[in-house]
Amino acid sequence: MDIDLIFRIAAIGIVVAVLNRVLNQSGREEMAMMTTLAGVVVVLMMVISLISNLFDSVRTMFHL
């Protein structure tokens, strides 16, 4: 769990926001929607192991 991950997620967020704006501006709205979704999927994949750990600890804490 390092601070690097948070910076990386923030940078991806910025890039996706700019991409969204550029694509909306040129009229390719469906492509903008697709890149937003792709950005969400990428961030999710980066974070998935941490989420799995979180669910494990929640489960052990409440079934104790």
Told to check if 15 binds other proteins by CB under 8 A, we report: yes
Nearest to 40 by CA among 15, 7, 58: 15
In the bound complex, what is the minimum distance in angstroms from residue 22's beta carbon to other proteins? 5
The interface mask with other proteins, positions 37-56, x = CB under 8 A, is -----x---x----------
In the complex, what is the shortest distance from the CB of residue 53 to other proteins, in angstroms, rounded to a whole number?
A: 21
Span of 8-16, 47-55, 56-64 interacting with other proteins by CB under 8 A? 8-16
- 42-49 contacts, C-beta under 8 A, 24 or more apart: 42/12, 43/9, 43/12, 43/13, 46/5, 46/8, 46/9, 47/5, 47/9
